[in-house]
């Protein structure tokens, strides 16, 4: 599809080139870090990877916390069931006496 040659297109060549330049700069912005021998790094990609890694680490931490909490709650259920059984037995014993 060639928008410049399309007669039904109302886009001027200049505005199309401006939009393309903005898009290109937004997608492929790069920077150099001091001491990196001027090797370009694609900051958008780096930021995305960093955020993704942080989210994964946060999810892993949350998973560990929730698993720990689940184990605690399971142990607590067993403890309370044991206590309830003991109390039932105590009540039945008192009724018989």
Mean pLDDT of 63-92: 97
Asked whether the predicted pLDDT for residue 1 surpasses 90, the reply is no
Rounded to the nearest integer, the mean pLDDT of the chain is 79
Q: What is the DSSP string of 3-66?
A: TTT-TT----HHHHHHHHHHHHHHHS-EE--TTTTT--EEHHHHHHHHHHHHHHHHHHHHHHHH
Return the DSSP state at 2. -
- Of 50 and 5, the structure prediction assigns the larger pLDDT to 50
Q: With pLDDT > 90 as the criterion, what percentage of the chain qualifies? A: 44
Asked whether the predicted pLDDT for residue 40 surpasses 60, the reply is no
CB under 8 Å to 27, separation ≥6 — which residues?
A: 44
N- to C-terminal Cα distance for the chain?
95
């Amino acid at each position: 599809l060639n928008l410049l040659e399309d007669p039904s297109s109302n886009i001027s060549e200049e505005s199309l080139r401006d939009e393309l330049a903005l898009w290109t700069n937004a997608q492929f912005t790069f920077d150099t870090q001091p001491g990196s021998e001027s090797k370009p790094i694609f900051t958008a990609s780096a930021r995305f990877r960093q955020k993704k890694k942080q989210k994964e680490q946060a999810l892993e931490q949350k998973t560990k916390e929730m698993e720990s909490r689940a184990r605690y709650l399971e142990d607590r259920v067993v403890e309370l069931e044991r206590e309830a059984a003991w109390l039932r037995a105590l009540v039945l014993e008192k009724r018989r006496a």
